[in-house]
Structure 1
């Protein structure tokens, strides 16, 4: 009888030891960036804010949670829940992640459509229907008299802005938005 009790006790201790040493997090049970915390005979997942559930498998509906707060879509935007996040479809005259920035001419089209080889900068309108942006040209580009876009290449070679060698002479070759120097004469180093 004593042998049976000792054997039962040994089996119980072995089982408890196995439960204590087994790391249930080894199977990576937490999904969507959740952090696994190993417990005695189990685990707990610490989920990122956008996920919930025992294994972080359930998407949080941020549209419902953030509705009417500064964290949600603003200014009449339509909120769409997406896996792990949400997006805002802005009403007219608004843009930005949460539709908090008023619409301007620079966001009405791509930078290249509006300014060519330049950067669009909004300016206040003085008259209605007046263009509400200006273009700051990239190096090597300028504007024509008929458009605010930077579409005219500056010929650096004719403007004497190029720094190719003059002694010995090395030809300057204009390329769109820049220039390059021609081949150095044989035996000469610059």
Structure 2
């Protein structure tokens, strides 16, 4: 097989014997011999047979232009100057080109490739009689008066040889062509396979053929893509899926605590809280849900993350209970003179690490007397100065958390409102006993 870059040199080999037995005319006299040669031959009296004429020597400018004259038996050829001619060896039967007959005999010669049959000429089967010069790899085909040498399929005849045809030069394949002796084969790029016509290339669905995707596989033209479920990242190899730790992205993923799970995350809440939605924590009201263990003579007070059980009767001598959360000290009792006239019990809950200063409780006077001037103060319970009173107007004030506190912890603050009427020389006071529960968690 020749490469595409090689230069093909045509070498024409011609072996042509145009030999016809000499025609003999009738002799005018007994014993007289008469000889005659066909065209391209002349009688050699010394050798007593017909001899080929060299037309290339006898004819001036037998071939024109760039053609070269090559003599052969019975004629000549004009071929390119690069061509060469290899003549076949003469056979003894062909070297004798004359025939001597009696003058009274008649002879009708047959052309080359035929033999006498009766009064006519019949074709000579050179293939059957093994009178051909075909190569072992070639097939002999008989023709009228001659024969031809046919090359196997996938080969072409150049001179006397059969040369493989490079079918890949004709772009028979869609992707890649591989030439092999006598034929060719088509190959496809990765991700494709040869179609039923053995020339085209069709896409391969790698997802149906066991693609190494760990989770999801998507077929594309000539290849495939791996993808991961939500909560996973595609690994560097393009096939595996790695869990995403969502909790590491931000501390605000959950209100309390984030827990990473395969492919997802979840939020949890501390004891005494329940999940609101997926991220927020909501206090569980044990008092409303019946989850407390307070006694019959106790009241349940809900606080952040839990509850408190307090006695239903809050009043201590000399106070008497006049309502569920209200105690009064009668003026007729001498010991009540220096005490607030009434005490109201309230409960509240705050979380630890609350930003400060922070308003936590609003104090509002329930009774307002004309001409009275009201002041507010923390009477007791704030030994460390964690709170202070910010008066808003004559009838209200705000309890302010002054410093950050941590829990669990309980404060009992007596918040007092003193009312003074200078016109009537009248002064009285009332107290708010506020129980502040500080939870252990801040949100």
TM-score range, shorter chain: 0.3 to 0.5
TM-score, scaled to structure 1: 0.43
TM-score, scaled to structure 2: 0.21
* Structure number with higher relative contact order (C-alpha < 8 Å, ≥ 6 residues apart): 1
